[in-house]
A and B are shown apart, each in its own frame.
Chain A
Amino acid sequence: MSLLELETVTLKFGGLTAVDRLSFCVEEGEVFAIVGPNGAGKSTVFNLISRFYDPHEGAIRFDGHDLLRARPDAVASWGVARTFQNIELFDHATVLQNLLVGRHRHRRSNLLSEIFFTPSVRKAEIQNRHFVEEIIDFLDLQAYRDKMIAGLPYGVRKVVEVGRALATDPKLLLLDEPASGLSVEETTDMRWWIDDIRRQMGITVLMVEHDMGLVSGVSDRVLAMADGAKLALGTPAEVQSDPAVIEAYLGRAA
């Protein structure tokens, strides 16, 4: 059984078929990349997994269960965390607060116990902090811990978003263009982090990425998409040499 399975998933925006009878599986422990030209429907696949949209057709299963039963805010508690292509952080909060929001799915307290800040709330807060502090160390964010997001450089915000997703303690991490807009050094860091996320933390990674260097460096398998449908699926080398993929890229450029 695969960790994530999409089966003939279709989503239409009006007349536009953004995802077209797409099927693929992500195995536990792998790094799986989705590539494709802009508008191919990659982010829409993520949004479907996040349950922001209901597919018109098809099934999505996570860990053997029907993910389409989950409400959008329940997806996180199933163990799926994500980042956004356009960075969706909580801009007027600190890095620490952002990461702590990632712990929300582990909340066991209620309104009253939090108003009185009971000892159990305090204990949970210390545990949350402990968890988040490990992520801060892992991603080298110590210098930014108490800084507001709004004032941070783009590259740092990108990393904070990965940290916030990790703070949920997920089984599956969805990264939407983790390296876009990053410098060469930052991209190299990201590459090693993704490697460590998979190897040390044992988290399965599904990512959308344009940087083919990064894709072939970290991913086990690659899915190439165009116009919402599958073009090719295989190892990075196989996909890069696939005639349909070359045609899709060059065809667009021409």
Chain B
Amino acid sequence: MRIVFKTDYMQDIRPWKDGQQLTLYLLLLAAAIAAPWLLDVFFLGELTNVLIWAIAGLGLMVLTGHTGQASLGHAAFLAAGCYANIILMESGMPFMLAFPLAGILTGFAGAIIAIPALRLHGIYLAIFTLALSILVDDIIVLSDAWTGGVGGKFAPPVNVFGFEIERWGTPGAFYWLVLGVAVIVTLGYVNLLRAPLGRAFIAVRDSEVSAQAMGVNVARTKTISFGLSCAVTGWAGALMGLYAGAFNNETFSVVISIQLLMMIVIGGLGSIHGAYFGAIVIGFLPQFLSIAKEYVGAVFGGSSVAIPGLEFGIFGMILIAFILLEPMGIYGRWLKVRTWFELFPFYRKDMFKRQKSYLKTERLR
């Protein structure tokens, strides 16, 4: 049993609960920094991929998990960030300028798109953003003078503080670049959540009328959320392009949009952890499946059969299982396990059960 005694408001304002939790995060960070020495090139590449997805997930989490605006179109912003970064670099701008600018431009694009989207709720917003994703796919194909069309583009090596970084040539350095971005985005996110704006996001998500009655400008808050979300997603897109080495419209198809949304739902909506947990699932699922396939092939004989769309199908099934059994995602499950250990031996089964609350329709006017 572990109890945290609080004697100071700073204990609630600090992002970590106590020394023990801080130590844990610092150890995790140290392990992450040491990864290039601990892992072989293949797994380091996979880990890099997971981190890039996590950054994209953090981007979508701001909008969907914390502000409650579902987006099925975030691949559009991955694409925007990716192409903006490469086009800026091709025009002679150094990476260290092009990269931040690519995200900021994507953020502004997102904020502008938010203006018509502000009037839309729930399913209509999802359809609007889905259409956006399809539209951007087409725009990439049509404006081939800039984007290379279906032929796509190749990512050049990038220069960070005088070091040439390339995904295959210097996988360790590329990993650190991605890790650096992930850490910076996460820290900014943590800060926002403990500040008024982060609370305003949550307020808009849970009740627009009362957010308004508390003095929150709902339209402006949503616009800022869109902008931040798209900026972070743009950075993830830029990294994705560099990671892939070559990319075209297919790299950022609408399937990626859906996958990204599924990822944060599985990870746990409304938590930073959720973006990381979801990215781990999405990143390592292909490996897991190929191992499972080999195993099945070995047991039942014969060569393993390739089933098209298997990965996506299994992903979908995991999603359904989560929505039915653990709507709070992996992070929700993690909270329960942690509480079990912290309260041991006093955990009760109904600890996380909701009190019956009045549904809106049951309430009296």
Q: Which residues of A contact B (CB under 8 A)?
A: 38-39, 43, 50, 52, 71-77, 81-82, 84-93, 96-97, 100-105, 107, 109, 111, 114-117, 121-122, 125-126, 129-130, 133, 150-154, 164, 168, 180
Contact = CB atoms under 8 A, between A and B. Distances in A.
23 contacts: A75-B213, A84-B210, A88-B213, A92-B202, A93-B199, A96-B12, A101-B202, A101-B211, A102-B214, A104-B200, A105-B215, A111-B197, A111-B224, A116-B191, A117-B195, A150-B354, A151-B353, A151-B355, A154-B358, A164-B210, A164-B214, A168-B214, A180-B364
A180 B358 CA distance: 13
B285 interface: no
A109 B191 CA distance: 13
Would you call the interface of chain B mostly helix, strand, loop, or mixed?
helix
Contacts of A87: 358, 363
A129 B203 contact: no
B13 A122 contact: yes
A89 B210 contact: yes
Contacts of B127: none
Contacts of B207: 88-91
Contacts of A90: 202-203, 205-207, 210-211
B191 A104 contact: no
B216 A104 contact: yes
Given A85-B365, A114-B196, A115-B191, 13 more contacts: A52-B212, A76-B213, A76-B214, A84-B213, A85-B363, A87-B363, A90-B207, A90-B211, A93-B199, A115-B188, A117-B191, A122-B13, A164-B210
Interface in B301-321: none
B91 interface: no
B209 interface: yes
A50 B212 CA distance: 9
Contacts of A121: 195
Interface of B: 9-10, 12-13, 188, 191-192, 194-200, 202-203, 205-207, 209-218, 224, 228, 270, 353-355, 357-358, 360, 363-365
A102 B214 CA distance: 6
Nearest to A43: B365
Contacts of B363: 85-87
A86 B214 CA distance: 16
Contacts of B197: 111, 114
A44 to B, nearest CB: 10
A220 B91 CA distance: 73
A82 B213 CA distance: 7
A101 B209 contact: no
A129 to B, nearest CB: 5
Given A151-B354, A152-B355, A164-B214, A107 B203 contact: no
B81 to A, nearest CB: 18
A177 B188 CA distance: 41
Nearest to A80: B213
A105 B13 CA distance: 19
Contacts of A122: 13
B361 to A, nearest CB: 10
A77 to B, nearest CB: 5
Contacts of A129: 9, 12-13
Nearest to A148: B354
Contacts of A81: 213-214
B209 A114 contact: no
Nearest to A117: B191
A157 B192 CA distance: 26
Contacts of A91: 206-207, 357
Nearest to B191: A117
A114 B195 contact: yes
Nearest to A90: B206
A96 to B, nearest CB: 7
B214 A104 contact: yes
A85 B213 CA distance: 14
B213 A101 contact: no
Nearest to B355: A151
Contacts of A168: 214-215
Contacts of B200: 101, 104
Contacts of B188: 115-116
B9 A126 contact: yes
Contacts of B214: 76, 81, 101-102, 104-105, 164, 168
Nearest to A38: B365
Contacts of B206: 89-93
Nearest to A114: B195
B356 to A, nearest CB: 9
B208 to A, nearest CB: 9
